[in-house]
Amino acid sequence: MRSTEQLAADHAGILEVLEALDGVLREAERTRTVPSDFLRTLVAFSQSFVDRCHHGKEEGCLFPCLARLGMPTDGGPIGVMLQEHEQGRALMRAIAAALDRYEAGRAAVDDVLAPCREYADLLRHHIEKENAILFPMAEAVMSEDDDGATVTCFADKDERPGEAARERLLQRARGRPPATGDPAS
C-alpha cells in the first residue's frame, strides 16, 4: 500500500471518530451535560493517534521526503498542513483545559462544546485538503523508492494504543461501554 493510501486510511478512521463526536455533541447540547469520559478519550485519541501517529507520519516521513523532492515547506500545501497541525494541538489543549474547568464547576457546557466543534471542523477541512490536494501532489513527485522509504519510516510512527482509543470512542458514541478488561477505558 502506498504511503498516501496509508494516510488516507488513517483519515477514514479519524472521520469515523468525528462522526461519533458529532452525535455526542448533539446529545450534549440537548441534555446540557458534558460527556466528560467521551471527551477525555477523544483527547487521548487525538494526542496518541491523530498527533503522534498520523501527524508524526506526515511531519517525520512524508513532508521531509516531499521537501527533498523540491516541495516548499514554508508555504504551499505543506506549510498549510503544518499550521493546521498546530491549530489542532492548540484546540486539544483548549478542550482538555475546558474539561478541567467544567469538572471543577468553573465552565459552562458551551465552553467545552465550542472547541470540540471547532476541532471537528478543522480536522474535516484538513483531511479534505490532504486527500484532494496534497496526496495527489505527493504521488506525482514521489518515485517508487521514495514511497517505499516513506512507508518504512511510517513503521516507527505507528501507535496501536491510538487504535484502541478510537474503538473505545466509537463504542461510547454508540451507547455501549468499552470492552471489559480494557486498561485504558
43 lies in some domain: yes
CATH label of the domain that carries residue 101: 1.20.120.520
* Interacting residues of 3 by C-beta distance below 8 A, sequence separation 6+: 57, 61, 62, 138, 142, 147, 150, 151, 154
11 lies in some domain: yes
- What is the per-residue pLDDT for 119? 98
The better pLDDT of the pair 71, 182 is held by 71
The band of 173, judged by pLDDT with boundaries at 50, 70 and 90, is low
- What is the per-residue pLDDT for 180? 47
C-alpha cell at 4: 498516501
185 lies in some domain: no
- At 47-58, the pLDDT tens digits run 888 998 899 999
Domain that residue 47 falls in: 3-173
- What is the per-residue pLDDT for 161? 53
C-alpha cell at 131: 486527500
180 lies in some domain: no
Half-sphere exposure of 22 (CA within 13 A, CB side): 10
Q: Three-state DSSP class for 113?
A: helix
- What is the per-residue pLDDT for 156? 73
114 lies in some domain: yes
- At 152-169, the pLDDT tens digits run 998 876 655 556 666 776
- What is the per-residue pLDDT for 18? 95
107 lies in some domain: yes
- At 110-142, the pLDDT tens digits run 999 999 999 999 999 999 999 999 999 999 999
- The chain-wide mean pLDDT, for the chain, equals 89
183 lies in some domain: no
Section 36-63 average pLDDT: 91
Whether the CB-CB separation of 28 and 35 falls below 8 Å is answered with: yes
- At 6-32, the pLDDT tens digits run 999 999 989 999 999 999 999 999 999
Based on the structure, what is the number of domains in the chain? 1
184 lies in some domain: no
Section 88-93 average pLDDT: 97
